[in-house]
Amino acid sequence: MKIFIKSVLVLFCSFLLFACVSTPSSRGKYMINIDSTVSDPFVRSAWMSYTAPIRADMDKFYSENSTGEYKITYNVELNARNSLIDFYLRVKKDYNINDPYIEDLIKIRSLNKLNEYVFFSFNPGNWVSIGNFNEDAFKIFMKSNLPIHIPLTLASVERIN
């Protein structure tokens, strides 16, 4: 019974998140993709939370550039990773979940390195370092603290119209 209640809660949270992301004022239609390797419903919901800031930024972009190509900005990616972590931590308080990748992100953020992590791990090549980030120092940090960590993105938002 407890597992059923958890599943209903996760589905409800996912529905609310999707409803917030899919507002009637939206100018476009989007598809949210979660990697099939993410099987835990709480972790899937956390990745849905990751997509919310991206979806909102895409809506803003396409309302101003109907034919342009959306490219995620550093601040949006950083906000999305923070949203992922925050949702996961809220759910983790009440349920027994343990996702190694998100646990690594929590550690990176707790050591005040999430800004550099996002910049060096997910930069599509057009982000400019505004924080005077030092890539060599960051690589040393990662090798010392999380030597086997692999940066992942297990959710995406795709415009479908």
Total structural domains in the chain? 1
Q: Give the pLDDT of residue 15.
A: 47
Q: Are strands 155-159 and 30-34 parallel, antiparallel or unpaired?
A: antiparallel
Structural domain boundaries enclosing 123: 2-159
Residue linked to tokens 């795709």: 158
Other CB atoms within 10 Å distance of the CB of residue 132: 5
pTM for this one? 0.82
Q: How far apart are alpha carbons 82 and 130 in whole angstroms? A: 19
The distance in angstroms from the start CA to the end CA of the chain is 41
Taking only the tens place, the pLDDT of each residue in 43-90 is 999 999 999 999 999 999 988 887 888 999 999 999 999 999 999 999
If residue 102 lies in a helix (H) or strand (E), which one and from where to where?
Answer: helix 100-110
Least Cα distance to 92 among 81, 82, 102 occurs for 102
Least Cα distance to 153 among 30, 15, 54 occurs for 54
Is residue 44 within 8 A of residue 76, CB to CB? The reply is no
List for the chain the helix, strand, coil content (%; round to 5).
Answer: 60, 5, 35
Least Cα distance to 135 among 153, 116, 109, 158 occurs for 116
Token digits of residue 130: 């505004």
Going by pLDDT thresholds of 50, 70 and 90, the confidence category of residue 2 is low
